[in-house]
Structure 1
Amino acid sequence: MDLPPAGPFDRLERFYDAVPRDTARAEDHGTLVLFVPNGAGWPLYARPRLDATGPPSLADVATVRERQRALGLPEAFEWVHESTPELLAVARSAGLSVLQAPLMVLDPSALPDPGTLTDVPLRLLDAAAPGFAADVAARRAVAAVGFAAAGTAPGAAGPAQRDAALAELDEAALDEERTRVADGRRLSVLAVTPTEGALASGMAMRVGDVAEIAGVATLPAARRRGLGAAVTATLARELLAAGTDLIFLSAGSVDIARVYLRVGFRRVGTACIAEPAPVTP
């Protein structure tokens, strides 16, 4: 008998579970799964298990946090509120601070031409191009400077701060990036001018016909030029052309969500990101 088609939240859960498994091992702790990076990878998180038969408990959260501390990992948890609504109260009772980020899905019919959003040239990173390593380093540096000044307000940090943040990638990290770009699992875009260099960047992670756009950042000195919207629209167009039919993202705030509304994303739920609450003196 044919199974009914999976709903969008089911598809999102499968995506969230699949993405970290390329670069991490999964440890089951009760109703939660903790993703532990293989080597010096990007710090990951714990989230509800796909096959869990009940909601996460306070004991499950405590066990995972103890394991994260033992491994030197951030005490981080991520989940979709609509899929696991009980976890919000549990996380808060454990003393965690929970960011409730707008979870947004693309309406392809509302996606604009990126060229109508900015006059800055946009470039999709090519894994076979001679300048690929420099482009990846620039993408990461833009993100580091942009996220250090969160939000959408203009600021002073610009190309000089980006250049100071440039770091050479080790060969393993570069090979991993090149492989994922070459096989379509990762897309990256830069907004670049001949005189200012890279001003905005973003990336997308793809598993089958589902993709998440993430890491969209603009140098504070280059904000209010439509760059974040244009980077997002460029990624979305490339994903659609590759056959992706569910494209989503999480906005860091309501103000940031307004940028994504401009390019056809509509809020469907809430992505929860939990970490220990800051200690007050």
Structure 2
Amino acid sequence: MDSVPAELFDRLERFYDAVPRDAARGEEHGPLVLFVRDGAGWPFYARPRLDAAEPPSLADINTVRERQRELGLPESFEWVHERTPELLAVARSAGLSVLEAPLMVLDPAALPEVTSLTDVPVRTLDPTSPHFPADVAARRAVAAVGFSAAGTERGDAGPAQRDAAVTELDVAALDEERQRIAEGRRISVLAGTAAEGALASGMAMRVDDVAEIAGVATLPAARRRGLGAAVTAALAHELRAAGTDLIFLSAGSDDIARVYLRVGFHRIGTACIAEPTALLP
């Protein structure tokens, strides 16, 4: 990896701190902040405070884990290794397993057209469409099936397993999704055909001129058709059109990172995700 300006990591840190605050309150525990969601929804994690003068200690980790257990939250921590390198050894000494995910940033000049990656149509979810609730449910079902068989290898799980994974969304969840899309803070896309339905999905979260692409998933039976790359490229094009200057993502493995290389992303560092051993692949 080439030398990365400290200012870029500063922008990423501000983004990481801002995104959860949309739906969660921040509890400060020494040099860590634990994001606690108010109400139902995806639970958040703890990460180093923006203004922390010292790296987290083992005692700090244990304090936050105790609080997470008290609240019924996952004992999850996230950070960028290049900004808090000391935390890797501390997390492991606490008995946590750490996923070291390639942290990648888009080179806009290397972003290909979506149609050069796949012949499967890719579309952006429209919150004003009557099909929006079904589209959101399909996006989540594709992600559930895709991430249950992580990696890039083909598998047996396909449309039937996706349909079985579809769940009805409550009104509050749909309203929240609509609002965030309308405000330009979220973009969601689906790739699929009329015959097969949704085969791949992904989303992006945006704060000002910085955005993270996340949740890119493909049904195992539909892999090796360029869908993951196409979904990522579609999101990147939408973000660029909206004026997003810095677009990044974290790849689940080196194999998955190679998919993103095709879309113009390059590695700048390592995003660490720490959880109790049994929870990580």
Per the shorter chain, which TM-score range?
A: over 0.9
The within-5 A match list for 1:166-185 is 166-185=166-185
Instruction: Give the whole-Å Cα distance in 1 for the aligned partners of 2:229 and 2:71.
Output: 38
- Post-superposition shift, 1:107? 0.3
Instruction: Name the residue aligned to 1:223.
Output: 223
CA offsets 1:20-73 (integer angstroms, 9 cap, x no match): 001111100000000011111101100000011111111110100000000010
Counterpart of 1:187, as a letter, is I
Say yes or no: does 1:41 pair with 2:41.
yes
Instruction: Name the residue aligned to 2:80.
Output: 80
SS in 2 for 1:7: helix
Instruction: Name the residue aligned to 2:109.
Output: 109
SS in 2 for 1:67: helix
Instruction: Name the residue aligned to 2:128.
Output: 128
Instruction: Name the residue aligned to 2:239.
Output: 239
Instruction: Name the residue aligned to 2:100.
Output: 100
Q: Normalization by structure 2: what TM-score?
A: 0.96
Counterpart of 1:103, as a letter, is L
Over 2 Å off, 4+ runs? none
- Post-superposition shift, 1:277? 1.8
SS in 1 for 2:278: coil
Instruction: Give the whole-Å Cα distance in 2 for the aligned partners of 1:51 and 1:41.
Output: 27
RMSD between aligned alpha carbons?
1.1
- Post-superposition shift, 1:239? 0.3
Counterpart of 1:153, as a letter, is E
- Post-superposition shift, 1:92? 0.7
- Post-superposition shift, 1:84? 0.6
SS in 1 for 2:52: coil
Instruction: Give the whole-Å Cα distance in 2 for the aligned partners of 1:172 and 1:102.
Output: 34
Q: Normalization by structure 1: what TM-score?
A: 0.96
The within-5 A match list for 1:1-281 is 7-278=7-278
- Post-superposition shift, 1:261? 0.2
Structure 1 gap segments, 5+ residues each:
none
Quick one: percent identity of the two aligned structures? 81
CA offsets 1:200-258 (integer angstroms, 9 cap, x no match): 00000000000000000000000000000000000001101111010000000000000
SS in 2 for 1:112: coil
Instruction: Give the whole-Å Cα distance in 1 for the aligned partners of 2:6 and 2:55.
Output: 20
Instruction: Give the whole-Å Cα distance in 2 for the aligned partners of 1:7 and 1:59.
Output: 30
- Post-superposition shift, 1:171? 0.5
SS in 2 for 1:278: helix
Counterpart of 2:126, as a letter, is D
- Post-superposition shift, 1:278? 2.9
- Post-superposition shift, 1:6? 7.2
Instruction: Give the whole-Å Cα distance in 2 for the aligned partners of 1:159 and 1:224.
Output: 16
Instruction: Give the whole-Å Cα distance in 2 for the aligned partners of 1:167 and 1:245.
Output: 35
Counterpart of 1:50, as a letter, is L
SS in 2 for 1:118: coil
Counterpart of 1:233, as a letter, is A
CA offsets 1:148-192 (integer angstroms, 9 cap, x no match): 000000000000000000011001101000100111100000002
